[in-house]
Chain A
């Protein structure tokens, strides 16, 4: 991937993420978020990690951003108008952006490749990445060296799911929902009877 196209993509990502914060219509800002994700996926494809890029598109764009869009569309949000609160929100936003971007710059100056974040030494990693495709390499690393983190991530997701279900589950006793099983298992003998009248 040439430097010019990387630069162009980076500019596109940065400008759309800036617009994301500044646009007034919330639906537009979710669509810009999608644009940021897709552009970063293209950037990842450019540096040769197709699997992660496609996973980014499938999971973040195909599922999570769709849910964001759903919620934002159904909430009936009014377009934000400028008022007194706006200024304080604006300053908080500026502080957040500045701290985040300075952290990023710090990371860039630190030189990524010299950082090894765990007991695993980087030589093994480069050895794997030369003989295997990126998908196989990821699988080897994830299930050999990082399987504890992988399992922990799964448990975290499970807790989130259980929490969401507990928050929304409410069993009503007088609910009139139809149960297909009960409807289908009705027999003629049980359903019909001769009523007796007393004169």
Chain B
């Protein structure tokens, strides 16, 4: 019973924040493009996400006649479930975590590598060219950027001396990893853009050639689940970034520690969310071969080399944490 309450106390605020994430996206992009954004439903458009959700809920579910129905129905469920599962290990504040496992970083990484399956099975099972091509592009992109993400995570784990998320945050009490590991922080942020299929790497969705990628054939709740899963994944990646580089719940200066840690955590996540939206508004889309060569020829060698640099630095100054 207590566990159920704990789970609900994470999922309900998460879904609310996903809803308001979409509103924030439309409002901020409106601001950047000098228009108002949604402002009709509710006060200044505050009820817009609820109206959107209701609209999707009331629509008819269309099942394509040649689709592989079981997989077609399971794929959005899988995406949505996996995007929720990652939140079980995220520490929101001091002692504010559902389960603090010893290999939390690896758990998050495993969840993000499993979430590829929702996309590739949805693309294959809808039996449509556009969905299939979108799914193949998206999967190839996610798998190739995961490689560089794993090396970046290893750098941070070696500096902190642990795979435990709470321990990684505690290791940043003196200084956030943002400062000594600044280059790979930028690398991690760009890789997380690619991992969540966001601009400028949103090739799977390329409206011009592929209509909208792997979820073309989905309507109503299937589409809504993909949408929720995608945005929850963006929030998860930003909180992962905050934990690895921006010191989680820690305040920037110890004078400000009277403000509770979860508020700092939320503020830092919002910073990344605004970055995600900002990049969507200002950057043009990459070409697919450019994306692949960026991932394999630049990010992978650089992060591998940086890992070696970090290890030899720590070894030569005898700073290894364990």
Contact = CB atoms under 8 A, between A and B. Distances in A.
Contact of A66 (B71, B101, B143): B143
Contacts of B17: none
B106 interface: yes
Best-surrounded residue of B101, B113, B124 (most CB of chain A within 10 A): B113
Contacts, number: 54
Interface stretch (B1-9, B115-123, B168-176): B115-123
B143 A63 contact: yes
A62 B116 contact: yes
B117 A34 contact: yes
Interface string B76-113: 00000000000000000000000001110011011001
Interface in A57-79: 57-58, 61-63, 66, 69-70, 73-74
Contacts of B117: 34, 66
A12 interface: no
Interface residues of B, number: 23
Interface in A139-194: none
Contact of A69 (B109, B120, B163): B120
A61 B109 CA distance: 12
B136 interface: yes
Interface in A71-118: 73-74
Best-surrounded residue of A27, A54, A70 (most CB of chain B within 10 A): A54
A133 interface: yes
Given A63-B143, A69-B120, A73-B124, A133 B106 contact: no
Given A31-B71, A62-B146, A57 B114 contact: yes
B233 interface: no
A62 B102 contact: no
Nearest to A67: B143
A135 interface: yes
Contact of B110 (A62, A69, A70, A73): A62
A50 B109 contact: no
A31 B122 CA distance: 12
B113 A70 contact: no
A51 interface: yes
A54 B107 contact: yes
Contacts of A58: 106, 109-110, 113, 150
B226 to A, nearest CB: 19
A58 B121 CA distance: 18
A93 B195 CA distance: 40
A63 B113 contact: yes
A169 B150 CA distance: 27
B126 interface: no
B101 A50 contact: yes
Given A54-B106, A63-B113, 9 more contacts: A31-B71, A50-B103, A58-B109, A58-B110, A62-B113, A70-B139, A70-B140, A73-B136, A135-B163
7 contacts: A27-B124, A54-B107, A57-B110, A58-B109, A63-B143, A73-B136, A74-B136
